[in-house]
Structures are given as C-alpha cells and as structure tokens.
C-alpha cells in the first residue's frame, strides 16, 4: 500500500533529512507530473480510474481512493472547509482505505466532486501539504539514509515513492532501496551515479514484475519514467539543471 506508518516516522525525523533547492524541487515535481499527467504543470483537478487496483487516482500526486492517501486529503480539506463537495465521501473513503480496496461502486459523483473542489486554492494547498508529508519528506529521509546527495538522485527517490509508495510491500521505495543496497554492498559510497543506476535498474525490473499483480499492466507501460532518469544521469545532469528535455515513446516535453 502507498500509505503506512513509515510516513509518520519519516516526518518526525524530517529535520535531519536531505533537501532539494526550491528550483530543483519544482523541476522534480514537473518531471513526475509529466509521467503522471503528461504535463509539466501539477494537475490538481485530475481524477481517473486507471484500473490498477487502487480505485480513483486523483490530484497532483495521484492520491488514490484505495490506498489511504486520498482520504487524508479530503479529511484535511474538510477540517478547513466543512461545506465542500467531497465531504460526503469521507465514510466510504475511510472504508476503502481500511480494506485497501480499489472498489469505486459507491463513489458515484466522486470525479466531478474532486474537480469542483480543485477550483478552490485551499484545496490545492492541502494537496501540496499532504504530498510533502507523505511523499516528498519521506523520500528525502530515505535519500539521507542511503547517502544520496545529488538533486537528480533525490528526485529519483521522490519519483519512485510517488508511484510505488513506501509501505511494507515488495514494490515500495524502501524495498527497492534495500535490494539496491544488497547489490551495491550498502548505501552510496564513492560512486553515486553507479548506485543510482542500480537503483533505477531495480525499480525498472519491479515495474515489469510487480509484487502487486493488479498494477502489472499499467506499470509495464511506465518504464519510460525510469529510462528518462537514466538518460539524465548519463548526460551528467546530476543537479536537475534546466532546461530538461524529456523525450520518450509516450512523452515529449521540456522542463524550463
């Protein structure tokens, strides 16, 4: 699952984690947005059932109804603004998150409600806050622990956690890092590029052979987000310097 107690632990130790500069973070988020929504701009109003076993995928980080992160967004927004179009789904979202269910049969009207809420700047701010709490900060904690110091390396971990989550399953960011460290003999030592390419190779294999078979078809079609990162490293852009031209069989966009 994408959501687990590890996120809470990671946020607590945030002060000792790595960090991206404001400019690098923006480019990294644009990079992820390309592969999530085919746009360098964050898509707060996006919502779709992509049939990956996780229910509706929605918002800037692909918050899903079946893994426990969409409910966090909706509940936090409802605490700020009780009268909102998504509030009526809280009970069902809690049920789905508890079961880890991708069932959308009781979520009639959810897509239009999400799109309506996304018109509100406060809802977009909530998405930013939940994304940082659940994905960005934990990825930076992982980067610190693994000895990853480059901006591109930190972005590689962030992009991975957005898609794979950091729960206790074999597809998670933590599991992929563990397999990388087994191959590389531990965290980064002298050659970060080599370590990162092993990490990306390990992630690519996981996309092609996921532990969660419900994601298999969708994930096999997304290996280009790993290949584009490898290309960036091969070109020597280790600090997410712009412009970054991302050209794959599925995407052709430039990050300023």
User: Considering only CA atoms, which of 169, 172, 160, 250 is closest in space to residue 196?
Assistant: 160
Pairing of strands 56-58, 63-64: antiparallel
Q: Which two tokens stand for residue 35?
A: 């592969």
| Structure-token pair, residue 57 | 């995928």
Q: Could you identify the residue written with the tokens 């729960």?
A: 167
Cβ–Cβ < 8 Å for 44, 118: yes
> ω before 243 within 30° of 0 (cis)?
yes
Active-site positions?
A: 36, 52
Among 219, 228, 168, 162, residue whose Cα is nearest residue 200: 228
Q: Which long-range contacts (CB under 8 A, 24 or more apart) does 75-83 make?
A: 76/126, 76/129, 76/130, 77/117, 77/122, 77/123, 77/126, 80/122, 80/126, 81/120, 81/122, 81/123
Half-sphere exposure of 19 (CA within 13 A, CB side): 8
């Amino acid at each position: 699952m994408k959501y687990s107690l590890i996120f809470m632990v990671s946020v607590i130790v945030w002060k000792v984690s790595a960090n991206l500069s404001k400019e690098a973070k923006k480019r990294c988020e644009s990079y992820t947005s390309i592969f999530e929504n085919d746009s360098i701009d964050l898509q707060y109003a996006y919502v779709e059932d992509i049939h990956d076993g996780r229910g509706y995928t929605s918002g800037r980080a692909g918050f899903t109804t079946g893994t426990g992160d969409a409910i966090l967004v909706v509940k936090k927004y409802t605490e700020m603004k009780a009268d909102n179009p998504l509030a009526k789904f809280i009970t069902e979202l809690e049920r789905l998150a508890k079961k880890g269910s991708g069932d959308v049969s009781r979520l009639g009207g959810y897509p239009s409600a999400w799109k309506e809420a996304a018109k509100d700047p406060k809802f977009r701010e909530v998405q930013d806050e939940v994304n940082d709490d659940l994905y960005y900060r934990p990825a930076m904690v992982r980067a610190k622990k693994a000895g990853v110091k480059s901006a591109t390396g930190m972005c590689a971990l962030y992009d991975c956690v957005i898609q794979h989550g950091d729960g206790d399953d074999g597809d998670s960011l933590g599991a992929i890092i563990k397999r990388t460290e087994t191959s590389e003999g531990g965290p980064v030592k002298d050659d970060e590029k080599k370590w990162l390419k092993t990490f990306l190779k390990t992630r690519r294999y996981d996309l092609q052979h996921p532990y969660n078979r419900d994601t298999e078809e969708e994930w096999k079609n997304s290996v280009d987000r790993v290949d584009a990162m490898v290309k960036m490293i091969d070109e020597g852009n280790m600090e997410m310097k712009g412009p970054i031209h991302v050209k794959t069989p599925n995407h052709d966009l430039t990050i300023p």
